[in-house]
Each structure stands twice: as structure tokens, then as C-alpha cells.
Structure 1
Amino acid sequence: MLDKFVTPYIKPLLMPLVTQLDKRGVHADQITVVGFVIGLLAVPLLAAQLWTAALVMIILNRVFDGLDGALARYQQRSSSAGGFLDICVDFLFYAAIPLGFALADPVQNALAASVLLTVFIGTGSSFLAFAIPAEKLNLARPQFANKSFYFLNGLTEGTETIAFFVAFCLWPAYFPELAYSFAFLGAITIFTRINGGYQTLKSHTVTDAQQSKEQDK
């Protein structure tokens, strides 16, 4: 929900790093992979209950996630392959963080982490499932025109996810309560995405069928 408001402020902050990386011949896909590896380092740190160190890895992962797309656009090398790689490692990173908390305290955190992971599957699948027909129908995406995939809005997007991840690390004793709260918001996102996506695709299907009939007359 907040991504469209936060992204315009983040982009200018990344440009000094983007220009330096471009001068050194760094490719956006390399940034994606390095950022993913850094993000995965949070899992053993969470399991060891090294909350601050894990938080640093999470934040660095998000910085790299912003850098790869900005660098690709700056170098005019945006591609479907790069977008595919980016979205795959993003969802793997998102799933890894609840796992880290489950490993840290299985008795207290495992059930909440499982619920949150279930919701992540719903938000991720609804997001990606809509992107396929949206691309086929060439639906407009004015808010995320530079993205490789069609971004279907929701109550919980990247900004909200990272905000909760930060909260998890700052108040690890309250992970179950925070995770259940985030899962509830994510469930709302699932419902609105499925309903909104279905209605959008249904209306375009009807419109396309009507246009075909008119052309056949």
C-alpha cells in the first residue's frame, strides 16, 4: 500500500551508488544475487538470536534490492530475465525470515511462522498469477511502469513487509503477536487481490469479446 509513496523518495538516494557501480562495470543481476546471499545470512543469525546483526543483513538486502532495478534502468539493461531473477529471490528472502524466527524458538514461534508463510504463499501467488494474464492483455500499469512484472496493489506490499521484519528484530519476544497481525493484514491483501484481479480480468474478457463481435459484423 505504501510502496507507491515511498519509492519516489528512495530512488534519488540510490543514484550516487548507482553511478559508482556503473563506473565499475557492475551488472544489475550481480547486485541481485549478492543481495540475496546477504539476505539469507539473516537466517542463521536469527536462529542464533543475534537480532541486531540479522536486522543489518535484512536492511542491506533491501538496499541491494533497490539498487539492482535502479542500476538496470540507468544502464538501459532492464530485461524480463532480470525481473524474473529479482522476483524469485525476493520471495525466497521473504519466506526465509519467518523460518529464521521459527529456528530461534520453535516452541514459541513455529506456529506463528507457519501461519505467516501460508499467507506469504497467498499474497505471492495472487500477485504472480495476475501478472501473467495482465501481461497478455497488456493492461496499463502507470504506478509501476518500469517494473518487469505487473504489480497488483495490496494492503501489504514490500514497504509493509520490511517494516514488520524490522519490528520482528527489534521486539523478538513479540514475534508471534506481530506475525499474526501481519498475517491478518496479508489475508486482507489476498482477498482484495483475488477479488480485484478476478473482476478486472473478467471485465477485460467481456470487453474483448464484445470488440470481437463488432469486428465480425
Structure 2
Amino acid sequence: MIDARLLPLQRRALAPAARFLVARGVSANTLTLTGFGLGVLCVPALAAGWWGGALVFILLNRLFDGLDGAVARLTTPTERGAFLDIALDFVFYALVPLGFALQNPAANALPAAVLLTAFIGTGSSFLAFAVIAEKTGRQSTAFPTKGIYYLGGLTEGFETIAMFIAMCLFPAAFPALALIFAAACALATLLRWGQGWQILGAAPPHPSMTHKPEAR
């Protein structure tokens, strides 16, 4: 919901580190894969009940997710890099509920399944709209540098990570937090359906008015 406001602050904060990495030849794709690998480690940490370690891996994943884009913008953004970034992000978001389900199946499995179902709604509406928007030449004014049309909503990256942090800090509350966030994601999905229906029902922009955004 507030990602568009936070992105300029994030870019300024990460710019020095990104310049440092570029100067040493570190590629954006390397950062993407490293960040995903760190994110995967949150699953065994959560399954073992190592909440502090899981939180560190989640935050490191998000740090590398910001750094890969910052490095890409300083070098040469590619569509392949944007694809890798988006695809791995969606898998990472699903890993956190999985870790909680493994830690306590009796208490957490059903809330985790409900949350994952809600994630399918937000993810599918997001990606389905992006495909059609690209096909018809539409661009996002709120997220002009994203590799695809970034359709915002009630539950975006900031809200998701804030909820993951809360789950790690208060693991016993996971069932309640998961169901609350699942409800928010369901509402976000409904709003995105309506927003997509409205935007795609309007005439697409004239080809001469469009340009290809950055690929990451």
C-alpha cells in the first residue's frame, strides 16, 4: 500500500552499497540468487523454531532484493534479470508460511494453507494484469522503473514483510496473524480484480505515447 512512497527512500539508502558492489564486479543476478538462497534458509530455521535466525534470513533476503535492483540500474537492466527477480520473490513469500506449518502442523498448517491460498489470489491477479498491460502497452505511473506493470494494492511488499516480522517476533500468534493477513490479501485481490477490470476496459494508450520501462 505504501511501496511507491518507500521506493525512493530505499534507493537512496542502498545507492552507496550498490556502487560498492558494481565497482567490484558483482552482478544483479548474483545478488538475486544469493538473496533467494538466504531466504530459503528461513524454512529450516522456522521449522526448528529458531525465530531469530529465521528473521535474519528473511531480512537478508529483502536486503538483497533491494540491492539487486539498485545494482541493475547502475549497470544494464535485463528482462531476464527482471524475470528471475519476480519469479524467486513469489516463491520466497510462500516459503515463510511453509516454515511455520512445518514447525507446528497441528496449530499452523491450516492457517498457513489459508494464507498461501490468499497469496495465490494476490500473485495471480498481479501477474495476469501485468501480462495484459504489457501486451497493450500500458505502463505504471506509480512504479515506472519496474520491469512489469506493477499493480499496487492493499497488501504489497512492505505489508507482507512487516507481517513476516511480526510472525517471527510472536510465533505463538501465527495462526491469528496468518488469518488476518489472508483476509487482507483476499480484499486486495478483490480490489485488484476491480482495478484491472476498469483499467483494461479503457482504451489502451497510443503506441507513440509508450516506451519500454527498465527491465528490473
TM-score, normalising length from structure 1?
A: 0.93
Give the CA deviation at 1:9: 1.2
How far does the alpha carbon of each residue in 1:93-128 deviate from its partner, in whole angstroms, 9 at most, with x for none?
Answer: 000000000001000000000000000011000000
1:51 corresponds to: 51
Q: Which has the higher contact order (CA 8 A, sep 6+)?
A: 2
1:16 & 1:196 partners in 2: Cα distance? 37
SS at match of 2:139: coil
Q: Which has the larger radius of gyration?
A: 1
1:31 corresponds to: 31
Output the amino acid matched with 2:143: F
Give the CA deviation at 1:204: 2.4
Give the CA deviation at 1:2: 1.1
Output the amino acid matched with 2:45: L
The within-5 A match list for 1:168-187 is 168-187=167-186
2:199 & 2:16 partners in 1: Cα distance? 39
Identity of aligned residues (%): 52
1:155 corresponds to: 154
Output the amino acid matched with 1:5: R
The within-5 A match list for 1:1-217 is 1-75=1-75, 77-204=76-203
Output the amino acid matched with 1:148: G
Aligned length: 206
SS at match of 1:156: coil
Output the amino acid matched with 2:57: M
TM-score, normalising length from structure 2?
A: 0.93
Give the CA deviation at 1:6: 1.3
Output the amino acid matched with 2:149: Y
Aligned CA-pair RMSD: 1.2
Name the structure with the higher helix share.
1
SS at match of 1:144: coil
SS at match of 1:142: coil
Output the amino acid matched with 1:108: A
Output the amino acid matched with 2:144: A
1:143 & 1:80 partners in 2: Cα distance? 20
Structure 2 runs not aligned, ≥5 long: 207-216
2:180 & 2:203 partners in 1: Cα distance? 35
